[in-house]
Each structure stands twice: as structure tokens, then as C-alpha cells.
Amino acid sequence: MKVMVLGTRGFPQVQGGVETHAEHLYPRLAKLGCEIHVIARSPYVPRRQKKWEGVFFHRLWSPKATGLEAFLHSFIGVLYAGIQRPDILHIHAVGPALMTPLARLLGIKVVITHHGADYEREKWGSGARLVLRMGERMGVRYASRTIVISKVIQQLVLKKYGASSALIPNGVILPDPPATKESLVTFSLTPNRYVLLVSRFVPEKRQLDLIAAFNQAKLPNWKLVLVGGTEPRNEYVDNVLSESEKNPNIVVTGFQSGQRLQELFSNAGLFVLPSSHEGLPIAMLEALSYGLTTLASNIPANTEVGLPAKQYYPLGDIHSLSKMLTTFSQQRNSPERKAKLRTWVKEKYDWDTIAGQTLDVYRQVMN
């Protein structure tokens, strides 16, 4: 079965939820016998990267410009798929899903994965929101099959469009925590004495909320570590960097991956996800895979993960988050509790199971 993939910038080690999802999913599908071809965006994948972990890459041009990048690349990608004639074109996210009718007109069977209502992201203006809503509508209406990553999205699709969908969540891999601590030396961090957030620097991730709560909590001998790329620069990124510079205990590391990111996860005292919009939060699942005590805003996508109620706070409530930081920073996260958390998240969000479920959807479409 030949499957082409559209809607991801590329992988491995490209920042983004869809990118992380694709990086874990498609090598597994390749091992299950699928011939996987990823249509990647040229700024994110090196020319020499033709194949990785059994996955083939087709590097097509796209502008590196917010708003135009996904739209133009998706249009070009569907035309390219029309030439390549895959058995299935798998489109990720509601923006690229706008091209679903075009793919069907070209005689291609299409599976879409709805990762979340991207039109709710704070960075988009009214025009972009309209296009994204149209993408959701066109994708759900014209796809051969729709996959959703959470119950929240499944209910949205059913309520808005009366459409059924296959619920296949994001997954997580239980890491082997590294013995090295090079990142901690680089950023002058003490193990178990910093609050961690790993995410893109965009308004809906609410880094400013976490900074304000951390400043209010005044945790003795603790630091706040914000991991994520700061490009492209815009007003929000500048505001986060400006507020971070006011407190010497706030560290902005830039984008991190591989061993350096593993070190930061392994040695954190707390992980916080203050976001206002998620599909199913991969960063939270990654934190739990390290056994980290995790706090999060109480948006439906976060609460669906199933943390204890006391570890959620009302979205945007700085005072409540500050109190939680104080409370949980004083609690020891024992090795036994870490092991229990790791087992729980592994059983609930296993990538091998997810790959098998995705293959089942492909087979349904082909029959």
C-alpha cells in the first residue's frame, strides 16, 4: 500500500505537534508494510534527506511565511500526489485539509487527521480563521475517512457535521533518561529545581501566563525554563523574551531536541502546560513519560489526558497557577511515583497500537 503524507513541515527534529506525531507514526507504518512517502516543505528538510527510518521524502518548495506556507504547499502537494498516484493521501490538520476536494477530483482516496480547531488559535486574523474553518468543513465532508486525536474533536466533528470519525490519539515513547547533564550545565540549572515548558512560542501556549505566575510564586532557588524556537520573531515572541529578561531565574533555551531535550525533561521538578488551545498535547504526554509532575490549564483537550483534578487550574488564572507552583514545588516526586506515571501513560498512549489502528483505517478505505 502506497501512502503519501501531506500537512507536516517534515521530520525528524522539526518543532510542532503534527511533526512529532508524524515522526513517531510513519516509521512504524513503514515497518508494518506500508510504502510511506512524505511531501515535506523545502525549508525544513535538507536536500540530502531522501529517506529516513524507512520513510521516503519528497521535498517540495514552500515559502517560509505564516499564512501562505501551508496553503501553497498543500496545493502543490496535492497536484504532486495526483502525478504520483498513491493508494491513499493522508492529510494532517484542517488547513491542508482544504485541498481534500481537489485530491478527490484527481481520483485519490483521502484520509484526514483532525489535530484540533486551528481557527481558535490566537495568532490568526478573521480571514485566516475563515479559511481554516472551510478547511475543516471540506476535509470532513470530502475525505474517504476522518481520524481525530481526541474525544473533544470527535464530538466537535459529530456535532458540526454529523460525521463519524476514528478516534486515534497521539502517543508517547517511554524514554531512557540520560545520565548526562550537559544542558543543565549550559543553562546553569539544578536538577529538580526548575519548572519546564516545552512548546512553540505562539500566543495560545500562554508563556506569559506562566512567567507571571512564576514571578508571583517566588519559588526559592527555582528557575523557569522555556524551551522552544523563537523564530520567526513577532510581537508575541518579543514580549515573551522581554518579560523573561526581567527575571534572572527565567531561562529561554531556544529550540532543543535529542539528548539535550531529554536531559531537560529528565531533571525538571515540574512541567506546566498553560495553553488555551490543544488537540491532544504531545508535550504533556512527553512530560508524563518521564514521570514528571504536570500542571495544566483546564481546557478540554488537557483534561482529557486524565490528570488528577488538583493538577488543573482555570485557564488564565495567574493566581491559581502561582499557588499550584508553590504547593507542588514543595512535594517530592518519588521514584515509585515516577515509575507509576510512566507505566500509566505508556499503556494509554502507545505508538505501536496507534500505528496498527491507523493501518486499520487505511485498509477500510481500500476495501
Please report the pLDDT score of residue 66 as a whole number. 63
Please report the pLDDT score of residue 168 as a whole number. 97
Band of residue 17 on the pLDDT scale cut at 50, 70, 90: confident
Q: Which residue has the cell 529545581?
A: 193
Q: Is residue 18 part of a domain?
A: yes
Q: Which residue has the cell 515513547?
A: 173
Instruction: Kindly state whether residues 166 and 313 are assigned to the same domain.
Output: no
d(C-alpha 96, C-alpha 16), whole Å: 15
Instruction: Kindly state whether residues 243 and 107 are assigned to the same domain.
Output: no
pLDDT digits (tens, 9 = 90+) for 266-291: 999 999 999 998 988 889 999 999 99
Instruction: Kindly state whether residues 97 and 115 are assigned to the same domain.
Output: yes
pLDDT digits (tens, 9 = 90+) for 64-80: 766 678 899 999 999 99
Q: Is residue 309 part of a domain?
A: yes
Per-residue pLDDT for 323 more than 90? yes
CB 142 within 8 Å of CB 272: no
Q: Is residue 91 part of a domain?
A: yes
Instruction: Kindly state whether residues 251 and 224 are assigned to the same domain.
Output: yes
Please report the pLDDT score of residue 65 as a whole number. 67
Split into its structural domains, the chain has a count of 2
How remote is the C-alpha of 340 from its chain's centroid?
Answer: 24
Q: Is residue 176 part of a domain?
A: no
Instruction: Kindly state whether residues 344 and 359 are assigned to the same domain.
Output: no
CATH of the domain at 26: 3.40.50.2000
Instruction: Kindly state whether residues 188 and 120 are assigned to the same domain.
Output: no
d(C-alpha 178, C-alpha 56), whole Å: 30
**Domain hosting residue 193, numbered range:** 182-348
Q: Is residue 177 part of a domain?
A: no
Instruction: Kindly state whether residues 362 and 303 are assigned to the same domain.
Output: no
Percent of the chain with pLDDT over 70: 99
Q: Is residue 261 part of a domain?
A: yes
Instruction: Kindly state whether residues 354 and 333 are assigned to the same domain.
Output: no
Is the bond leading into 12 cis (omega within 30 degrees of zero)? yes
Instruction: Kindly state whether residues 355 and 316 are assigned to the same domain.
Output: no
Instruction: Kindly state whether residues 105 and 134 are assigned to the same domain.
Output: yes
Please state the pTM of the whole predicted model: 0.81
